[in-house]
Amino acid sequence: MELQTNVDGADVHVHEHHHDEHEHHEDGFIRKYIFTEDHKTIAKQFLILGLMWAFMGGAMSVIFRLQLGFPDFNLEWLRPILGTWINETGKLEQEKYLALVTMHGTIMVFFVLTAGLSGTFSNFLIPLQVGARDMASGFMNMLSFWFFFLASVVMFTSLFLETGPASGGWVIYPPLSALPEAVPGSGAGMTYWLISMALFIVSSLLGGINYITTVINMRTKGLSFSRLPLTIWAFFLTAIIGLLSFPVLFAAALLLIFDRSMGTSFFLSDIYIGGKPLHHQGGSAILFQHLFWFLGHPEVYIVLLPALGITSEIIATNARKPIFGYRAMVGSMIGIGVLSFIVWAHHMFVTGMNPFLGTIFMLLTLIIAVPSAVKAFNYITTLWKGNIIFTPAMMFSIGLVSLFISGGVTGIVLGNNALDIQLHDTYFVVAHFHLVMGSASFFGMVAGVYHWFPKMFGRMMDDKLGYVHFWATFIGVYLVFFPMHYIGIAGFPRRYYSFSTFDFTKSYADLNMFISVAAIVTFSAQGLFAFNFVYSIFRGRLAPQNPWGSNTLEWTTPRVPGHGNWPGAIPTVHRWPYDYSKPDSDKDGFSDFIPQNIPFSQTPHSNFENENELIAKQEGKNAGGNQQHHH
């Protein structure tokens, strides 16, 4: 199997088609690949659309990094792509610079790291790892993708508007986002942004309800919550967080729509713009920020938790060692999930919010550092005395842990309100969240792709290219974001088109240039990944059934699982997913792992005492057939 060449692969492929035609139970092209209800295909749809957005969002950052690193550089050559966004002098239009920054943020946070990450892996892994034939509602799942697709179409269209897409920052604070007089992007562009996000929220809720229902109701026999893989715990908690927080953003967006189009004054008051006073009175611009960050902060964990879940799984598998502190990992994820709802105002220390409230939110914010630290220590301990195989997925997971720590510790600085006075809205913040949530989550997503690619497409990605991709990206990300802290400490504000106006921002031109070069190289290195991804779908080596020697249920399915995932009965789960290198087991080295579906009775040597006690119960249960098991 492992030595099969592409010729063999082609043979198998032909054979499969033949098989399909014969049985006449397969759906047609449209039902199979477009309006599909199969969770695996929906996952791939999320992944491919998410990756397309990732490249677009990345390209945008390269363009504005050119402006920041090389302010005198003539961008005339970009006119074929950017059109009038480049002005007569060959410079990026100032308002379009803001549009690029805004779109980069929106795309990366929502379309790539929410839909592309959570959408892909929750969809792909939840049914496969809990032992279900599909999601609780395949139809809702299909709608979830197509709402995301619609949201994408609307957002993409807004790029081509004459007045440009939304340009008030991804946080779209009113009044800037409410008044077309303030910035052209707040005209039609902002309307498109709001419509797109409303559709996106619908998509996210439809998906979330499905994930939660599936995890609660459709776990296979024997798969108690205490035996769930940490991936599933992460997706489950992420979905709950999303379900509770996205509606608040929806409310904020709706009220903003009212303010923009129907003359209400939820967020607007006392405004004089364009040479005349507006009629709005009594609204509060700060109210919007409270609503926005009530989603916005949990959103950070919506982005991060799935990546951490994926990492837990990959690190345990490739260290050939159980994840350290399973219960502590679950506990800290629950802790992070709960705390994520009560820290939002740390984004607002200097908005004029009551300073006493600032102290409360600092306290709550720094508490969240504790479960995060526990997670980091547990990852590190999992590596200790392991037997580590550096697959590309493993390397990206180790990279994630490093980035999570490096970006996390600066959160301790920013979460301290006294320090936030100076650092708020400087490049220190940009560096912090790009490491801890941007890069770390992106690493989680890429690790997930490398790890589950064989199950998604039945073929292997090239690992050598994967290694080069990892080292280029890992080094690149540090070169981009580490020096950015320095620029922030020097007080450089965010979202500045140019640093030539102020004396205090005259330094660091060289460092900004360096960051831009690093960003361009890092972005280019993603081409390796794109090539590897596309090439391997069609020409990659055929995957063995369980290439990484992993314990979870998805690796018990056929090479390319069909509709319904398992051709025969769904496997029963008998143990937790981390029985790697158990003492006294019959095997050793790489082969020393016991998948979740192997009963304890088959592994008499390696069982612990309490597990031996379970044998009797398990056998009794099997004899009892479908009878419910009482505790």
Binding flag, residue 491, other proteins (CB under 8 A): yes
- Residue of the chain from 47, 154, 285, 295 that contacts other proteins (CB under 8 A): 285
- Residue of the chain from 88, 162, 588, 609 that contacts other proteins (CB under 8 A): 588
What DSSP state is assigned to residue 502?
-
Chain residues 355-384 in contact with other proteins, contact rule CB under 8 A: 355-356, 358-359, 362-363, 366-367, 369-370, 373-374, 376-381, 383-384
Nearer to other proteins, 275 or 568 (CB): 275
Nearer to other proteins, 119 or 322 (CB): 322
Distances (CA, A) of 472 to 142, 388, 498, 513, 522: 36, 21, 28, 19, 6
By the 8 A CB rule, do 310 and 121 touch? Answer: yes
Binding flag, residue 29, other proteins (CB under 8 A): no
Spatial separation of the C-alpha atoms in residues 323 and 351, rounded to whole Å = 42
- Residue 478 has a CB neighbour count (10 Å cut-off) of 18
Spatial separation of the C-alpha atoms in residues 569 and 129, rounded to whole Å = 15
Spatial separation of the C-alpha atoms in residues 492 and 488, rounded to whole Å = 5
Binding flag, residue 507, other proteins (CB under 8 A): yes
Residues 58-97, mask of contacts with other proteins (x by CB under 8 A): ------------------------------------xx--
Nearer to other proteins, 455 or 459 (CB): 459
Q: Of 346, 341, 323, 374, which is closest to residue 248 (Cα–Cα)?
A: 341
By the 8 A CB rule, do 513 and 480 touch? Answer: no
Per the listing, tokens 């950052």 go with 61
What DSSP state is assigned to residue 148?
H
Binding flag, residue 520, other proteins (CB under 8 A): no
Q: Hey, what are 249's tokens?
A: 């953003």
Binding flag, residue 387, other proteins (CB under 8 A): yes
Residue type, 108: M
- Residue of the chain from 283, 309, 448, 571 that contacts other proteins (CB under 8 A): 283
- Residue of the chain from 51, 218, 323, 573 that contacts other proteins (CB under 8 A): 323
Binding flag, residue 402, other proteins (CB under 8 A): yes
- Residue of the chain from 34, 254, 421, 616 that contacts other proteins (CB under 8 A): 421
Greatest pairwise CA separation for the chain in angstroms: 84
DSSP string, 116-141: IIIIHHHHHHHHHHHT-SS-S-HHHH
CB of residue 99 vs other proteins: minimum separation in angstroms? 11
Q: How many CA atoms lie within 13 A of 366 on its CB side?
A: 11
Please count the residues of this chain forming the interface with other proteins, following the rule CB under 8 A: 125
CB of residue 179 vs other proteins: minimum separation in angstroms? 7
Binding flag, residue 20, other proteins (CB under 8 A): no
Binding flag, residue 56, other proteins (CB under 8 A): no
Burial pattern 190-208, b for ≥16 Cβ within 10 A else e, equals bbbbbbbbbbbbbbbbbbb
CB of residue 355 vs other proteins: minimum separation in angstroms? 4
Kindly indicate which of the ranges 11-19, 137-145, 295-303, 351-359 contains the residues binding other proteins, using the contact rule CB under 8 A: 351-359
Binding flag, residue 598, other proteins (CB under 8 A): no
Nearer to other proteins, 55 or 173 (CB): 173
Chain residues 112-171 in contact with other proteins, contact rule CB under 8 A: 168-169
- Residue of the chain from 226, 501, 627, 628 that contacts other proteins (CB under 8 A): 501
Spatial separation of the C-alpha atoms in residues 10 and 564, rounded to whole Å = 24
Binding flag, residue 224, other proteins (CB under 8 A): no
Binding flag, residue 508, other proteins (CB under 8 A): yes
Q: Of 154, 158, 163, which is closest to residue 182 (Cα–Cα)?
A: 163
Kindly indicate which of the ranges 32-40, 110-118, 228-236, 476-484 contains the residues binding other proteins, using the contact rule CB under 8 A: 476-484
